[in-house]
Structure 1
């Protein structure tokens, strides 16, 4: 029962609407760990050894923890491709909580999880190290986005590869061309740093004919720390860590956006996405490229105003690094009875055919393949004629060291700490110090 409560607690803490909690580092393991990427292999086709499945009939339970895979996508990207090759392998998806399945003694064969929440299944002792599998099937990791591979190697402490990435997200910035035209301001460049974005945002934040226009809605404090690679927990000390010069520096960068005259509306410093996608009074909005499809579809506004894309903004002292790395992976249960069948699912997910389908549906491929990237979002036609390739002019930012307490700390940063500075006028250092003290009290309570 203690184990079950521990896992339940981990799930509650980690399964929040956020992503990314670990730091990327280059390189593999020269002592028999994850094989090094072969950069000489062509990009057009992933190197995978074609082997016949001889594992016999297998019914695999797939648990979707937080990959966002819909029933339609599960059938299209998982079930149908496997059924076309192996009639003996059948897949069933579950959306029950991991703690519920474990308590019932029903263990999934495969788990779909974000890199942010891999700690959940690691805590439960589930993932198989796929290093041997990548070698057996000759999977060339050099075919995958480098930031994704580096993140996976970091999560495995450079010794293990605990899941197979199958889809990723990418930061971008969407902007309203009509607002720029209205005020005679040149469109944003394909790549900008936050200082440049701030100055552009100031020019566009104004009131005209009774309408309040906001130049830019910046990321929240949690995301700003992720992108800069600043951790919020010190593992060595086992405590929250929010009071370094870097923490204050990043917060000050964000505060400048919030402090633009006209940005705050009735003490509200976090605005709804409706202001951009429905009301059309926000000029620029950085977020995930996949999220824009959801927002435009929800608002039904993709053709109601003129808009285009640029790369996600970077820090001036970290040029070329955009929004933090974010991806989803398929994890194999090391105790599963049908691991050979599970491997076939992973190989299918990495195929050019399935990766192309994923890309068309609005989920970026993990393969470094320009043709697949160009097909991104084509099923919805939202990005037709848009400057989509601009988003790839920056690379995903490596993530800071992560902990199971991060979601709790991040919620505190985005809520109480940010509000104290922007609404109550507390200075940044004091707000961070108070936030750190409160976080540590809550961490002690959770540990008990």
Structure 2
């Protein structure tokens, strides 16, 4: 779930089930971080951390305050009633973090999204290696989804573990059952390719009683390059990849074919969730597997299928790195912070958050099986579609370089979709624009 979700909730907040496991007590009044000079081969014994003493931890929030309260705030209070959580943030960007640091804000823990964020956190001196904590307790990293954990490991220089995976990004194909029924067309199925989806879209793109219905909206545009694990920037050459990687051409050919369907091109090419949810003129919408807004939409009779895939990338889903948990190396509460991170990544919390619709980053099948179980109306949905495709690890990209290189991508989609430029010209123009932006960053 790219995965800030600020403003998405349009329905009443789900009551969070209180945690019943009592906090560990005892131990010294002050704890120390893991020693850096342990003898080779020795595993330091984990200290007993006194979580009964009152402390305040500042937590960087990656979403709305309401979502933070559901997923983190209420759960920490139930488990550790003497820990006060102060939130700052509301969505990760490097400039957002820099402003907080410039104001003198001391941040202890971070909930942030997307793989490139770790590189930015390292550059800002905010990435703490968690390896010492992991080793001293024999913490089992294999419980995490392989692709999500690999993306964390890929950000290390010397084998460091700078974060714990927390949630994964999944996506599905939403479809309006009423429109398919109206035109007598069979519903989408799990395992379709994008070409098959285009053929299906042609059957439900129609004008009826003065209303133009569109068979397929482009949805979240990042999903296409994520399915290919395609980076807009090549660190080896220091340039964009729009001309060097033929997969961009394949994506743009899909865009051209999508908007070449008579009646399927909207007045303005955007990620049109409103056309699906409110106006109900879009039959199919590829979107993140975040169901609260859709379930809360009035009179929307929908279901889901697995996100379609490219013919040459079958089974490949979107990026696994929806969000991660990190700790600042400057926090005064390293041991307490580690306890909080462990707790949030525990089976208990992952299952609880899965039940309210946030895909878990752990392998535990029970967490996947209970996905969305507490969302009213989810029982009618094909929830196995959420985990039909495998998550696709993404290449390591520095955040500012990724942002610069990907900037021409959506305008390119709009130009090709509106027949303002052909594919080759658009790719060439995007390459030039991205290379210029990259050069500006490197010259600073």
Aligned-residue CA RMSD (Å): 2.7
Looking at structure 2, the residues matched to 158 and 248 of structure 1 have their Cα atoms a distance apart, in angstroms, of 36
Alignment of 1:92-241 (within 5 A): 92-95=86-89, 97-116=96-115, 117-157=117-157, 159-219=159-219, 221-241=221-241
Matched, 1:405 2:401: yes
Per-residue Cα deviation, 1:158-189 (whole angstroms, up to 9, x for no partner): 71211112223311111111211222211111
Task: Report SS of the residue matched to 1:343.
Answer: helix
Change (3 A) 1:438 1:169: closer
Give 1:30's aligned residue.
none
Flag structure 1 segments of 5+ consecutive residues without an equivalent: 1-13, 19-48
Task: Report SS of the residue matched to 2:121.
Answer: helix
Give 2:15's aligned residue.
none
Looking at structure 2, the residues matched to 230 and 423 of structure 1 have their Cα atoms a distance apart, in angstroms, of 24
Looking at structure 1, the residues matched to 103 and 206 of structure 2 have their Cα atoms a distance apart, in angstroms, of 58
Q: Return the offset for 1:81.
A: 4.2
Looking at structure 2, the residues matched to 352 and 16 of structure 1 have their Cα atoms a distance apart, in angstroms, of 23
Task: Report SS of the residue matched to 2:154.
Answer: helix
Change (3 A) 1:193 1:15: closer
Change (3 A) 1:16 1:330: closer
Task: Name whichever of 273-282 and 151-160 sits farther off.
Answer: 151-160
Q: State the TM-score, normalized to the length of structure 1.
A: 0.80
Change (3 A) 1:158 1:257: farther
Asked if 1 retains the 8 angstrom alpha-carbon contact of 2:213 and 2:283, the reply is yes
Q: Return the offset for 1:259.
A: 1.5
Task: Report SS of the residue matched to 2:269.
Answer: coil
Looking at structure 2, the residues matched to 78 and 305 of structure 1 have their Cα atoms a distance apart, in angstroms, of 30
Task: Report SS of the residue matched to 1:174.
Answer: strand
Matched, 1:314 2:315: no
Looking at structure 2, the residues matched to 179 and 217 of structure 1 have their Cα atoms a distance apart, in angstroms, of 14
Give 2:57's aligned residue.
60
Asked if 2 retains the 8 angstrom alpha-carbon contact of 1:188 and 1:310, the reply is yes
Looking at structure 1, the residues matched to 293 and 392 of structure 2 have their Cα atoms a distance apart, in angstroms, of 23
Asked if 1 retains the 8 angstrom alpha-carbon contact of 2:3 and 2:322, the reply is no
Q: Return the offset for 1:83.
A: 4.3
Change (3 A) 1:381 1:131: same
Task: Report SS of the residue matched to 1:230.
Answer: coil
Alignment of 1:384-395 (within 5 A): 384-395=379-390
Give 1:38's aligned residue.
none
Change (3 A) 1:184 1:139: same
Looking at structure 2, the residues matched to 269 and 441 of structure 1 have their Cα atoms a distance apart, in angstroms, of 25
Asked if 1 retains the 8 angstrom alpha-carbon contact of 2:205 and 2:214, the reply is yes
Per-residue Cα deviation, 1:65-123 (whole angstroms, up to 9, x for no partner): xx21x434444543444445545543221128321232233331111111242232121
Matched, 1:345 2:344: no
Looking at structure 2, the residues matched to 326 and 102 of structure 1 have their Cα atoms a distance apart, in angstroms, of 25
Looking at structure 2, the residues matched to 356 and 192 of structure 1 have their Cα atoms a distance apart, in angstroms, of 29
Change (3 A) 1:93 1:123: same
Asked if 1 retains the 8 angstrom alpha-carbon contact of 2:204 and 2:213, the reply is yes
Alignment of 1:253-272 (within 5 A): 253-266=254-267, 268-270=268-270, 272=272
Q: State the TM-score, normalized to the length of structure 2.
A: 0.81
Q: Return the offset for 1:53.
A: 1.1
Task: Name whichever of 203-212 and 97-106 sits farther off.
Answer: 97-106
Looking at structure 2, the residues matched to 410 and 73 of structure 1 have their Cα atoms a distance apart, in angstroms, of 28
Looking at structure 2, the residues matched to 159 and 387 of structure 1 have their Cα atoms a distance apart, in angstroms, of 39
Looking at structure 1, the residues matched to 436 and 112 of structure 2 have their Cα atoms a distance apart, in angstroms, of 29
Q: Larger relative contact order (C-alpha < 8 A, sep ≥ 6)?
A: 1
Per-residue Cα deviation, 1:176-234 (whole angstroms, up to 9, x for no partner): 11211222211111221111111111122121222211111124554322221221112
Looking at structure 1, the residues matched to 332 and 59 of structure 2 have their Cα atoms a distance apart, in angstroms, of 13
Give 2:247's aligned residue.
246
Looking at structure 1, the residues matched to 380 and 300 of structure 2 have their Cα atoms a distance apart, in angstroms, of 14
Looking at structure 2, the residues matched to 433 and 356 of structure 1 have their Cα atoms a distance apart, in angstroms, of 46
Asked if 1 retains the 8 angstrom alpha-carbon contact of 2:233 and 2:239, the reply is yes
Looking at structure 2, the residues matched to 393 and 367 of structure 1 have their Cα atoms a distance apart, in angstroms, of 16
Q: Return the offset for 1:340.
A: 0.3
Give 2:376's aligned residue.
381
Flag structure 2 segments of 5+ consecutive residues without an equivalent: 7-44, 91-95
Asked if 1 retains the 8 angstrom alpha-carbon contact of 2:3 and 2:323, the reply is no
